[in-house]
Structure 1
Amino acid sequence: MPRDVEEQVALGAQLVEERLSLGDQVHEPRPIDHLAGFRSRRAATAAGEELVAAGYRIDGLRRRLLTVWLEFSAMTAVDSATAAAFTREVVGIVDRHGGTYDGWGGFLVAADDEAGAGS
């Protein structure tokens, strides 16, 4: 079921709060995965091109039943302001191509991950 951008931003804020409660270092960049569904491959491909131009990487394009699922990602932090900004950007692109954004997710970055990142 389609969700408007404000609902997606609110869901993202809940994810950020949950991550903070688990000790996630939300200001640290990490790969964040996104998923969007479209009615046609043409629409998904067009959205994918716009997402690539905006700095995202396309990770997959798969048809399941009547939906074409576009998987994409970017390296980013997930603090409240950053998550709201990328959610607004992605929902805008997906909406322009008639798709439905299904949200974002990724690994937590713990305080000791930060210290061991270079080793």
Structure 2
Amino acid sequence: MTDDWDFYSALVDGKPASLYVDLGAKAFAPRKDLPHMAYLRLRMRQPRDDGLSSKAEFDQLIVIEDALTDALCDEHTAFVGRNTSDGCRDFYFYVSAPDTWEARTASAMAPFGDYQFQTGTREDPEWSSYMNFLLPGPWDRQRILNRGVCEQLQENGDALTTPREIDHLAYFRDAASAAAFIDDVRPLGYHIKDEPRHDEEDDTISVEVSRVDVPSMQGIDEVTRPIFEATHRHGGDYDGWGCTVER
């Protein structure tokens, strides 16, 4: 486990889901000494109508999670994330010894006898459950970063209600891709702040564009999505956004 955890929303099997994942574990995944994925599926007692966790059950679910990680995590077991969906909370671990998993989880869940749960393991030496399911894809990763920037603005006294110029930065492999990107976003009302710049060290072309928008927590994903998608459509990398603090 690392200290780099974050959450994002998604659809899993067509149903609303909330995933909480150790993003930092990607740096050492897969660990060859932990080749088995092990899970514990907890059936929530007071889920919301959409299958996600409720405020009424929040504190108890945190108590259970803390008890599980305290009892189970050691040099032979790593907790890498959880998925909450369809009335259940699934905890994902990687372990070295799958044959002891059922007994270990039964012991850890003993204080919570009013909760139903299931456990299981499977071989997963490539950590595919972590890499391909728990980890956010490029757009979900950007949504996490969007929320982080909004939180930083709020911490500096910004109410996130004032329209202001928001700058976006993208990198491309060649001038033709950068030019195609500019042609793509100009009709959307974006202003090209500077001429595309060539970075000799990285051999990339950077393009900075801006538009007046409101960086609200609820609306920032829709603000960034057109630029994000246009960048990827032309083979580039979106490097995020920034704006002034409006107190």
Distance 2:227 2:144 in 1: 14
* Aligned-residue offset at 1:81: 2.4
2:197 to 62, 77, 86: 62
Is structure 2 residue 228 aligned with structure 1 residue 94? Answer: no
Q: Which has the higher helix share?
A: 1
Q: Partners of 1:34 and 1:54 in 2: how far apart? A: 13
Higher relative contact order (CA 8 A, sep 6+): 1
Give the match for residue 115 of structure 1.
none
Amino acid at match of 1:24: D
- Which structure is higher in strand share? 2
Percent identity of equivalent pairs: 31
Consecutive unaligned residues in structure 2, runs of 5 or more: 1-136
Decide which structure has the larger Cα Rg and report it.
2
Q: Distance in 1 between matches of 2:230 and 2:218?
A: 19
**Runs (5+) with no aligned partner, structure 1:** 111-119
The TM-score normalised by the length of structure 1 is: 0.86
Distance 1:55 1:25 in 2: 24
Aligned position for 2:185: 51
Aligned mates of 1:82, 1:51 — CA distance in 2: 19
State the Cα distance separating 1:49 from its structure 2 match. Answer: 1.1
Q: TM-score, normalised by structure 2?
A: 0.42
The residue number in structure 2 matching 1:75 is 212
CA distance in 1, matches of 2:228, 2:176: 18
Task: State the alpha-carbon separation in 1 of the partners of residues 139 and 223 from structure 2.
Answer: 11
**Count of aligned positions:** 108
- Which AA in structure 1 matches 2:209? F
CA displacement at 1:37 relative to structure 2: 0.2
1:6-47 CA distance string (max 9 Å, x none): 111110111111111211131110111110000011100110
Instruction: Supply the RMSD in Å over aligned alpha carbons.
Output: 1.1
Counterpart secondary structure, 1:80: coil
User: How big is the shift at 1:86?
Assistant: 1.7
- Tell me whether 1:16 sits opposite 2:153 in the alignment: no
Q: Which portions of structure 1, spanning 4 or more consecutive aligned residues, are displaced by more than 6 angstroms? A: none
The answer on 1:6 being equivalent to 2:140 is yes
